């Protein structure tokens, strides 16, 4: 059975690879024998992940890349092809929210700035679509490849406060299904497109929304999340790895067009 999960020597591009979740993915996939290109707008963050991978005997390169700039993406593709010879897998991990696009006692929905909302939508949706145009085109031309998008639990049911982020991640999930069908019908039935939808994981982006910065205790929002998560805890970044490995390997060779929740049961619980 281990053979169907084998990704040894696969060349993987992961955007947003300098972050907590995608950095953990990159490290785990390198340990499984893949060659990993860690792309991030912040080159130092990508380099930190790559240094850890290479120190552990893995193979990885750090590439500075802006997922909203097609020229930057094309340059990154050339760098990866020069280093690895090909690209087998794309993980679209770049994304995030913005405080100015989040409602609060100090900022009502009616006053959300258009530019902040557009930034969040662009980063999450266009930040998935544009890398797919660049790296996915190469896969379509070669007739084989795997694209894995990172959606969110709020794509299933929108979360309070984060109107732009919820809408953008819903767009990512919808795009995942659309692209899976489009690629199969027009290019190759051997290019698969899926997504994962993480539940609640503590990252630098949301840590102090869910826990108190001074005491470390759960905030009211953090308590609500835990109360609505049947497993009663936040996820650990490593909890993503099994599902990711499955979707990137031949174990899922007849799986395309799905969005997999990794959420401790959050999406299954009605609250009652």
Q: Does domain 2-199+238-262 have CATH number 3.40.50.261?
A: no
Whole-number percent of the chain with pLDDT over 90: 89
Q: What is the pLDDT of residue 1?
A: 66
Whose tokens are 């090909």? That residue is: 86
Task: State both tokens at 100.
Answer: 């100015």
CA-based nearest residue to 180, from 242, 255, 236: 255
For residue 170, CA distances in Å to 173, 177, 203 come to 5, 11, 20
Q: What is the pLDDT of residue 163?
A: 96
Band (pLDDT 50/70/90 cuts) for residue 205 is low
Domain parsing of the chain, residue ranges: 2-199+238-262, 204-234
Which residue would you say has higher pLDDT here, 211 or 142? 142
Q: What is the pLDDT of residue 207?
A: 65
The residues carrying an active-site annotation are 165
Give per-residue pLDDT as tens, 81-98: 999 999 999 999 999 999
Neighbours of 39 (CB within 10 A): 34
Dihedral of CA atoms 33, 36, 42, 45 in degrees, nearest 10, equals 10
Whether the per-residue pLDDT at 208 is higher than 70: the answer is no
Q: What is the pLDDT of residue 39?
A: 98
Q: What is the pLDDT of residue 204?
A: 67
Question: Given 3-state DSSP classes, what are the helix, strand and coil percentages for the chain, each rounded to the nearest 5?
Answer: 50, 15, 35
Neighbours of 92 (CB within 10 A): 30
What's the rounded Cα separation, in Å, for the pair 182 and 194?
Answer: 13
Task: State both tokens at 2.
Answer: 């281990």
How far apart, in Å, do the first and last CA atoms of the chain sit? Answer: 39
Q: What is the chain's alpha carbon radius of gyration, rounded to the nearest angstrom?
A: 18
What's the rounded Cα separation, in Å, for the pair 42 and 161?
Answer: 27
pTM of the model: 0.95
Band (pLDDT 50/70/90 cuts) for residue 217 is confident
Average pLDDT over residues 48-55: 98
Whether the per-residue pLDDT at 137 is higher than 80: the answer is yes
Q: What is the pLDDT of residue 32?
A: 97
């Amino acid at each position: 059975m281990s053979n169907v999960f084998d990704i040894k020597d696969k060349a993987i591009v992961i955007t947003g690879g300098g972050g907590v979740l995608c950095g953990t993915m990159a490290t785990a996939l390198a340990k499984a024998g893949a060659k990993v290109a860690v792309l991030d707008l912040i080159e130092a963050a990508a380099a930190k992940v790559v240094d850890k991978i290479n120190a552990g005997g893995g193979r990885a390169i750090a590439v500075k890349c802006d997922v909203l700039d097609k020229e930057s993406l094309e340059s990154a593709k050339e760098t990866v092809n020069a280093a690895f010879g090909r690209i087998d897998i794309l993980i679209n991990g770049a994304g995030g929210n913005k405080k100015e696009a989040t409602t609060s006692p100090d900022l009502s929905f009616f006053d959300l700035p258009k530019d902040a909302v557009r930034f969040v939508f662009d980063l999450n949706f266009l930040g998935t679509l544009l890398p797919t145009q660049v790296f996915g085109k190469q896969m379509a031309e070669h007739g084989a490849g795997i694209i894995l998008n990172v959606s969110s639990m709020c794509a299933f049911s929108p979360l309070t406060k984060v109107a732009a982020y919820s809408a953008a991640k819903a767009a990512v999930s919808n795009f995942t299904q659309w692209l899976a069908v489009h690629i199969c019908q027009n290019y190759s039935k051997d290019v698969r497109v899926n997504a994962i939808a993480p539940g609640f994981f503590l990252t630098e982006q949301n840590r102090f929304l869910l826990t108190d910065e001074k005491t470390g205790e759960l905030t009211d929002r953090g308590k609500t999340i835990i109360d609505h998560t049947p497993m009663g805890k936040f996820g650990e970044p490593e909890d993503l790895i099994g599902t990711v490995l499955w979707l990137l390997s031949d174990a899922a060779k007849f799986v395309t067009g799905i969005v997999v929740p990794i959420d401790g049961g959050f999406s299954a619980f009605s609250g009652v």
